[in-house]
Amino acid sequence: MSKISKTPLIAIVFMAIFSVSGLIVPQNSVNLSSVTLLIGIIVFFITCKSEKTEGNGNGLDIKKVPKQLKDKTILLLIMMLMLMNIICSILANLFVPEFIDHLKGRTGFLALDRIPILIIELIIAALGEEIAWRAFFQKQLAKILPFAPTLIISSALFASCHLTRGNIIVVLYDILFVFINAVFYGIIFRKTDNAYISTLAHFMANLLGIIEVMFL
């Protein structure tokens, strides 16, 4: 573990505070998550510049993508992630049918009738969240904590940012699988140190979720 600078430390503290605030005031969770995301992205690039890691170990390297996508472990993790999302939908249909309507409400802003725009929105959203939560938050927190607690904390806070109002059982079911997805994203990022790869996994998971919403 290495030493964390003051600016990223303050940023991750504020990201954590805003994330937890969403648990207390769920009706404002969308605004809070947007602020949290913005903090992570901005401070990520500030930190890259100050630490002079732009394109060199900053957790965002497009050149490594082709090679890393040939890694069987990474491909297996992505396949397991997809499987978990399918299991989520199957269990929801069997035991929590209200979850599908809840998910439609949470993803309604994605304009399901405009597929090309939808895909662009999904890519941008996934990339932004991966930069903020994996390339910045997880990577910086890992400087002061072992990987296991870092992964759990970052995934739990990420999940709390997706909290919405509704039936408590449905909401908890939703957050549980968001947390599980985040764990996969975190492990993928840990193994690749590349948010482009975790973004790809994130995008595929989101796209699968949207497809399930459209056809269920």
The 3-state secondary structure of 16-38 reads: HHHHHHHHHCHHHHHHHHHHHHH
Where residue 136 falls among pLDDT bands split at 50, 70, 90? very high
Q: Which long-range contacts (CB under 8 A, 24 or more apart) does 19-28 make?
A: 19/157, 19/158, 19/160, 19/161, 20/157, 20/160, 22/160, 22/161, 22/163, 23/160, 23/163, 26/163, 26/164, 26/165, 27/165
**pLDDT recorded at residue 143:** 94
Task: Give me the sign of the Cα torsion angle 8, 37, 103, 79.
Answer: negative
Residue 209: pLDDT above 80? yes
Domain-embedded: residue 133: yes
Residue with the larger pLDDT of the pair 25 and 70: 70
Domain-embedded: residue 94: yes
**pLDDT recorded at residue 34:** 87
Q: Tell me how far apart the alpha carbons of residues 126 and 131 are, in angstroms, rounded to a whole number.
A: 9
Phi and psi based region of residue 52 (left: phi greater than 0; alpha: psi -120 to 50; beta: remaining): left
Query: DSSP code of 166?
Result: S
Q: Tell me how far apart the alpha carbons of residues 134 and 87 are, in angstroms, rounded to a whole number.
A: 24
**pLDDT recorded at residue 216:** 64
Where residue 101 falls among pLDDT bands split at 50, 70, 90? confident
Structure tokens at 124: 């941008």
Total tally of structural domains belonging to the chain: 1
Please name the residue that has the structure tokens 């573990």. 1
> What is the domain range of residue 13?
6-55+64-215
Where residue 102 falls among pLDDT bands split at 50, 70, 90? confident
**pLDDT recorded at residue 142:** 96
Average pLDDT taken over every residue of the chain: 88
Residue 63: pLDDT above 60? yes
Domain-embedded: residue 1: no
Domain-embedded: residue 175: yes
Where residue 1 falls among pLDDT bands split at 50, 70, 90? low
Across residues 128-138, what is the average pLDDT?
98
Residue 20: pLDDT above 70? yes
Where residue 114 falls among pLDDT bands split at 50, 70, 90? low
**pLDDT recorded at residue 21:** 80
Domain-embedded: residue 79: yes
Domain-embedded: residue 171: yes
pTM, 2 dp: 0.92
Residue 14: pLDDT above 60? yes
